Amino acid sequence: MEPIPAIAEAVTTIVKLMVDKPEDVSVEIVTVPGGMVLRYSVAPSDIGKLIGAQGRNARSLRVIVGAIGMGAKLRISLDIPNGSPDRSGPDQR
């Protein structure tokens, strides 16, 4: 098995165990020079579970992804889009 799909599958398994709606988890593998980015999408109700209090879950996932990447001699990043509209504009409530 090639390392990139295997790594994405392993991390996806962890992410699916963290959320309430594992069927809504999807990953996009973006290849960048020197490595890859795993971009995860989850149900809007699961974003908080994936990110965790003060970003602790996301930070822990990034540590795991980085360690896996070192073993495969790849630089791997984890991206978790927040799935909500940008609230930094003038119509912020």
Q: Which residue has the higher pLDDT, 91 or 18?
A: 18
**Identity of residue 24:** D
Provide the pLDDT confidence category of residue 25 given band limits of 50, 70 and 90: very high
Query: What would the two tokens of residue 66 be?
Result: 């980085």
Q: Which residues pair with 79 in a beta bridge?
A: 39
DSSP class of residue 84 equals S
Instruction: Give all domains of the chain, ordered by start, each with its CATH number.
Output: 3-79 (3.30.300.20)
Q: Has residue 93 got a pLDDT over 70?
A: no
In angstroms, the CA 14 to CA 78 distance is 13
In angstroms, the CA 78 to CA 93 distance is 30
Provide the pLDDT confidence category of residue 21 given band limits of 50, 70 and 90: very high
pTM of the model: 0.79
Dump pLDDT digits (tens) for 32-88.
Answer: 888 889 999 999 999 999 999 999 999 999 999 999 888 888 899 999 886 443 333
Laid out side by side, the sheet with 75-79 consists of 26-32, 35-41, 75-79
